[in-house]
A and B are shown apart, each in its own frame.
Chain A
């Protein structure tokens, strides 16, 4: 019940973030979606995910607020509203029908299909010695996935450093 209220709140906040005219208010609504998602993780008894969601949401909000606080981007809203509404309704119908077909096939909540998961839960503490089963899975049973995640983050940071490196600042100093 509480979960459904939270989900409704998240949908309303997401619609607000899209429809509001001011960019700063939009960022704040996006933050509301993230914190509600953190609460939903807590209710589903996943504290690891809740902590990660909370801190990543905080960092993203700080960066987004710093990026948008003094900029007022104009919004183009005029024209073609018949076409836009028509395509939106069509795509909503297609999306809802396909998701109804797909979600019907899912296993019920709390009953995973994969048998290997039960083995992780039963023998995880004995095999790895870690009490936190999430850590045991992420860093021992499925450590290859974590290696891939580390590689992705490393590549992202290298790319950002290459694009936003110092010479831009030096050129500005010369021009001034």
Chain B
């Protein structure tokens, strides 16, 4: 059993490179999410990029070190939080009359704080997609481990 786990992590080169780049990938994903209403991208793409940053660390360092930071249950709960946030943004529209109404102030175009509820929706979808896809990857890795 322990023999399998010691083969999990990769070589020093891969470890160092992924330690240096994981943070940059994470910041790039956040940038894609937050600028979803100004530039190409949005919640889904940014969320997948965030999931890729965690998957990168998981592959390089092995399962054990990563799972101590963010476990399967935490990922599952955070994903639910994202889904409920999106529904809450949708329900905010009832202040203006209808479901999904854009009630917040539009602001000025080309500004970061503009477009009403669209950035909030982007953030919630990004949280949901990123954590959800990472949870799927964790579940698949655990399945593969338990088969051996």
Give the interface of A toward B (CB within 8 A). 47-48, 50-52, 55-56, 58-59, 62-63, 66-67, 125, 128-132, 134-136, 138-140, 143-144, 146-147, 150, 153-154, 157, 160-161, 164-166, 168-169, 172, 176
Contact = CB atoms under 8 A, between A and B. Distances in A.
Interface in B114-140: 114-118, 121-122, 125, 128-129, 132-133, 135-137, 139-140
B118 A139 contact: yes
Nearest to B55: A62
B109 A131 contact: yes
B61 interface: no
Residues of A contacting B: mostly: helix
Q: In this complex, which of A47, A66, A134, A139 has the most chain B Cβ atoms within 10 angstroms of its Cβ?
A: A139
A131 B38 CA distance: 5
B110 interface: yes
Contacts, number: 142
Interface in B74-110: 76, 79, 83, 86-87, 90, 99-100, 102, 106-110
Contacts of A136: 37, 115, 118
B118 A150 contact: no
B48 A63 contact: no
A136 B117 CA distance: 10
A157 B90 contact: no
A40 B64 CA distance: 40
B146 A55 contact: no
A139 B121 contact: yes
A147 B86 contact: yes
A150 B37 contact: no
A136 B37 CA distance: 7
Given A143-B121, A147-B86, A161-B76, A56 B40 contact: no
Contacts of B109: 125, 129, 131
Q: In this complex, which of B44, B51, B106 has the most chain A Cβ atoms within 10 angstroms of its Cβ?
A: B44
A125 B51 CA distance: 31
B57 interface: no
B22 interface: no
B14 interface: no
Nearest 4 CB-CB pairings of A with B: A129-B106, A47-B40, A130-B115, A130-B37
A134 B42 contact: yes
A66 B87 CA distance: 35
A143 B120 CA distance: 13
Given A51-B45, A161-B76, A164-B139, A129 B115 contact: yes
A55 B49 contact: yes
A150 B51 contact: no
10 contacts: A51-B41, A128-B102, A132-B36, A132-B39, A140-B118, A150-B83, A150-B125, A157-B136, A161-B76, A164-B143
